[in-house]
Amino acid sequence: MNGMKEGWFSELSSLWPGISLSLEVNEVLHSEKSDFQDILVLQTKSHGRALILDGIIQCTESDEFAYQEMISFLPLCSHPLPKKVLIVGGGDGGVAREVAKHPGVESIVQVEIDSHVLEVSKKFLPFMGTGLTNPKLTLHVGDGFRFMAQHRQEFDVIITDSSDPVGPAVSLFQQSYFELMRGALKPGGIVCSQAGTVWANIDIVAQTFQHCHLTFRKASFACAAVPTYPTGQIGFVLGSLSPETNFKEPLRIFSETELDSFNLHYYSAEVHRAAFVLPRFAKKALDEI
């Protein structure tokens, strides 16, 4: 069930047919079935600890920083004053860890559907799980879609750090979810959602981008390299209520000293700008929207 064979874990999914990333495993640290998903924590041979949900790699210790920094700082640095931030999903704690670093952020609210992921992360993945105990954070256990429907004009930035569009996360990729996010934002608010890879199922990526494009006055798509994600890359859709937003040019630029003091290893203003430059095939697919 969990893709383990002869000391290797292999990630198999119909979302990226015919290709699979494998991690050599030293030890299975934890395995359980929660009400929502299979949860597996592995001690891998060369990539540190890994969190796997329903057979899909969510993060590994070696490269999680790339994803967490980008999904956090692309929207935060595109907003003039991101005081109040909502994180949907993000049960490992990595995004909360990063968002809390931004000097303008005063409070963070997070809604994660699976309390078991939160507990497992705190226990087995402390390099991310510490984010869940940040004093700026208020944590709710519940469904992000339902939570969104109950909040109006409350947040400056909403980050959807969800698993892929299978299982409990399906609703977070629907047009109606983007509309609910629009309603939960303060004027000028910005959203950023995990949006898969342009190298597999570009139609699903394009559909998520279309939802964002139809809902927000400005929409854009960015990519980051994350070696242990399928095809080594992950995309983000970003939307803004303000027609003034130019996602490609960060409003907040951190100095080298700040980047060092925030312990950022991937994100910088240069990487921010470059993330929106797409290969021709991907640009064409999204331009057609």
Q: CA triplet 31, 13, 288: central angle to 5 degrees?
A: 135
In the bound complex, what is the minimum distance in angstroms from residue 105's beta carbon to ligand SAM?
19
For ligand SAM, the binding residues in 34-63 under the rule CB under 6 A are 36, 53, 58-59
Which region among 137-145, 151-159, 215-223, 239-247 touches ligand SAM (by CB under 6 A)?
A: 137-145
Q: Which of 161, 218, 230, 275 binds ligand SAM (CB under 6 A)?
A: 161
Residue 93 near ligand SAM by CB under 6 A: no
Q: CA-to-CA distance for 211 and 215, rounded, in angstroms?
A: 6
Q: CA-to-CA distance for 64 and 175, rounded, in angstroms?
A: 28
| Amino acid symbol at 68 | Q
Residue 163 near ligand SAM by CB under 6 A: yes
Q: How would you list the strands of the sheet with 218-225, edge to edge?
A: 137-141, 107-112, 84-89, 155-161, 185-194, 233-240, 218-225
In the bound complex, what is the minimum distance in angstroms from residue 168's beta carbon to ligand SAM?
4
Q: Which of 99, 113, 224, 238 binds ligand SAM (CB under 6 A)?
A: 113
Q: CA-to-CA distance for 171 and 278, rounded, in angstroms?
A: 27
Active-site annotation holds for 161: yes
| Residue among 35, 161, 260, 287 flagged as catalytic | 161
Q: Which of 108, 111, 192, 237 binds ligand SAM (CB under 6 A)?
A: 111
- Residue 185 has phi, psi (to 5 degrees) of -90, 150
Question: CB of 109 within 8 A of CB of 138?
Answer: yes
Residue 267 near ligand SAM by CB under 6 A: no
CA distances from 124 to 22, 51, 268 (A): 21, 9, 29
For ligand SAM, the binding residues in 186-225 under the rule CB under 6 A are 194
Residue 92 near ligand SAM by CB under 6 A: yes
Active site residues: 161
Residues in contact with ligand SAM by CB under 6 A are 36, 53, 58-59, 67, 88-92, 111-114, 117, 143-145, 161-163, 168-169, 171-172, 194
